[in-house]
Amino acid sequence: MSSTPAFPLHLAVALEGTGWHPASWREPVARPRELFTAGYWADLVAEAERGLLDFVTFEDGLGLQSSHYGELDGRTDQVRGRLDAVLTASRVAPLTRHIGLVPTVIATHTEPFHISKAIATLDYVSTGRAGLRVQISARPHEADHFGRRTFPPINLDELRTPAGQERLTDLFDEAADYVEVVRRLWDSWEDDAEIRDVATGRFVDRDKLHYIDFEGRFFSVKGPSITPRPPQGQPLVTALAHQTIPYRLVARQADVGYVTPHDAEQARAIVAEIRAEQVTAGRTGELPHVFGDLVVFLDDDQAAAEDRRARLDALAGEPYTSDARIFTGTPAQLADVLQELAAAGLSGFRLRPAVAGHDLPAITRGLVPELQRRGAFRTAYEADTLRGLLGLPRPANRYAAAAIA
């Protein structure tokens, strides 16, 4: 028996193509020709659910994948092309029962009204297991797909300059407004708005339908939604954040923030910064989860994991790098790392399998039993909704509350 104090951890897996390593598609387990079929995604999510994971995220983007941030790379040796993440999640929903489904949505070029009802509907089809991961796009070539805005050229270094930071601030402010609209629309129907009162002939009580009247710098939206309040009330809102500007979005709007500390000290500092931003935003009552993102190469012994990583790097022609910490080793070693980071204030992890067909089963069949032995992970699903799995209450409706007050 381990004497480590048991922090019950939350575990999510980030699904991206055949895995996060760019050569992952060349592995015998990868099934790259099935990437554009429902069966491929259904199998991955079924595997994640077998491991009792809290949720899976689905990556997305409004352009082809690229190894460069700001432009297409013209490469033909990596996976290119993808399916819409919301629709993929919805396609999988009826085939699963417990696991949360969190597709990526891009706030920069899409309509918050459409996304709000799409995620509400995902919540209906999954009976309370929906969320979203909000992302921005500063990429000029993606703006060109819409033709409504022109973005100047950008690369990651330029994003770190003051001018780049200003652009990022605008895009994240827009994303915060976007999430605000999405959330208000979810609340724009009170739970008991549908009355079906045969005596008066009224289907809804229109006093329980609310205009959201959002007016911001970037857009205005009237409401109410066309879709009634979803089962969870507020589906899960999540965001990946690497620095202060996105930390602010997490602090203002998210239920779960994904962060990328490389050690416990960084984890502690990031959590403190997010908590401070929360205080600034006046959101002290709630405690959003802060999850650590890690790329994982998992094998039964460390040498095998290292060999596999080296072999994939050789195929790719360059060592794999990531914004997130890259873990290479055994499930027990990973469990040690996760528990150390959890002690520094992270409440869960979003693991990015280097090779989906290999590292996802290694998580569900290796890491999960290891954490269960340590008393640090569930042994059965304990709730019916994604919020429930994460220990988040079903929130009161902001408009119903206002009506009472």
Smallest separation, CB 53 to another protein (Å)? 20
Beta partners for 257? 239, 290
Which tokens hold the place of 365? Answer: 């069949």
Which tokens hold the place of 13? Answer: 């897996």
Contact string 313-342 vs another protein (x = CB under 8 A): --x---------------------------
Q: Which of 12, 48, 90, 129 binds another protein (CB under 8 A)?
A: 90
Distance CA 150, CA 109 (A): 12
Q: Rg of the Cα trace of the chain?
A: 21
Contact string 35-54 vs another protein (x = CB under 8 A): xxxx---x------------
Distance CA 293, CA 12 (A): 9
Q: Is 26 in the site for another protein (CB under 8 A)?
A: yes
Distance CA 107, CA 134 (A): 6
Smallest separation, CB 122 to another protein (Å)? 6
Q: Nearer to another protein by C-beta: 227 or 330?
A: 227
139-178: which residues touch another protein (CB under 8 A)? Answer: 141-142, 144-148
CB proximity list for 168: less than 8 A, separation 6 or greater: 136, 138, 159, 245, 246
First and final C-alpha spacing in the chain: 52
**Contact between 270 and 301 (Cβ < 8 Å):** no
Which tokens hold the place of 357? Answer: 């067909």
Q: Which of 219, 264, 266, 400 binds another protein (CB under 8 A)?
A: 219
Q: Is 109 in the site for another protein (CB under 8 A)?
A: yes
Smallest separation, CB 278 to another protein (Å)? 28
The size of the chain, in residues, is 405
Q: What residue has token string 């408009």?
A: 399
60-89: which residues touch another protein (CB under 8 A)? Answer: 61-65, 72, 74-84, 86-88
Which tokens hold the place of 28? Answer: 């015998």
Q: How many residues bind another protein (CB under 8 A)?
A: 83
Q: Nearer to another protein by C-beta: 181 or 254?
A: 181
235-294: which residues touch another protein (CB under 8 A)? Answer: none
Q: Going along 96-145, which residue ranges are E strands?
A: 100-106, 131-135
Smallest separation, CB 256 to another protein (Å)? 21
342-401: which residues touch another protein (CB under 8 A)? Answer: none
Distance CA 135, CA 69 (A): 14
Interacting span for another protein (CB under 8 A) from 90-98, 161-169, 265-273, 324-332: 90-98
Interacting span for another protein (CB under 8 A) from 123-131, 277-285, 298-306, 380-388: 123-131
User: What DSSP state is assigned to residue 367?
Assistant: I
Q: Is 179 in the site for another protein (CB under 8 A)?
A: no
Smallest separation, CB 386 to another protein (Å)? 16
Smallest separation, CB 108 to another protein (Å)? 11
Smallest separation, CB 258 to another protein (Å)? 23
Q: Nearer to another protein by C-beta: 50 or 141?
A: 141
Distance CA 117, CA 354 (A): 33
- CA neighbours within 13 Å on the CB side: how many for 43? 16
Which tokens hold the place of 54? Answer: 């809290």
Cα angle 210-236-369, degrees, rounded to a multiple of 5: 160
284-313: which residues touch another protein (CB under 8 A)? Answer: none
Smallest separation, CB 80 to another protein (Å)? 5
Smallest separation, CB 349 to another protein (Å)? 28
CB proximity list for 248: less than 8 A, separation 6 or greater: 172, 176, 277, 281
Which tokens hold the place of 38? Answer: 């429902």
Contact string 187-206 vs another protein (x = CB under 8 A): --x----x-x-x-xxxxxxx
